[in-house]
Amino acid sequence: MARNEDGLVTVSTGVVFRIMDVPVLAFDEVRRKVERERPPVPVVWIDGKDREEVNPQDPGYLKALEDFDLKLAEAMIGAALVLGLEVVELPDGFCGPDDDAWTEKYHVLGIDIPPKTDAIARQLAWTRLWAAPKAKDLALLTVGVQQKAGVLETEVAEVSALFRDKPKRRANSPARVKKRH
């Protein structure tokens, strides 16, 4: 896998992509849309303290937050792959998005591939499942697009971290206390 100064990226399969300009606000809109679904931190009543406290360590909340983080990451990755890539070159004999040969294995597994008539969704599936199948491929493409778009380094780092080992979840913030009247 390699990226050069011309904005060309060659992934592990030999497919060459061009990193395109994407308005940074496109990523902001995707993030804002998904953020509406962020799970609320649960609040529990503590009898011994006669008050409510947030419980960011609640197992159900941690699972919901993990699911939310995955959904946000998938949305950001999808935005980068849809808006920020152009296929430049395929290795000899490598199936393109319009070929049916690459879809057959996924159909056997019960994974639906968008039809040719839905070209953008089909190309996204092809990129994720066939052309750039490794985590390193997706990281290289996604981070490259986000950096070119001017996404903040901290946000790029957050997406990059999703391709590494799963980090241990920390509490989001110190518990806030609310008296019940």
| Model pLDDT, residue 135 | 92
Of these ranges, 22-26, 43-47, 77-81, 88-92, the one predicted with the greatest mean pLDDT is 88-92
Domain layout of the chain by residue ranges: 2-38+78-171
Q: Which helix (H) or strand (E) holds 135?
A: helix 135-149
Any long-range contacts for 27-36 (C-beta under 8 Å, 24+ apart)? 27/76, 27/79, 27/80, 27/146, 27/149, 27/151, 27/155, 30/75, 30/76, 30/78, 30/79, 31/72, 31/75, 31/76, 33/75, 34/68, 34/71, 34/72, 34/75, 35/72
pTM metric for this prediction:
0.73
Give residue 173's pLDDT.
35
Closest CA to 81 of 3, 2, 4, 26: 26
For residue 130, give the amino acid letter.
Answer: W
Q: Is the pLDDT of residue 174 over 50?
A: no
pLDDT in tens, 49-98: 889 999 999 999 999 999 999 999 899 899 999 999 999 999 999 999 99
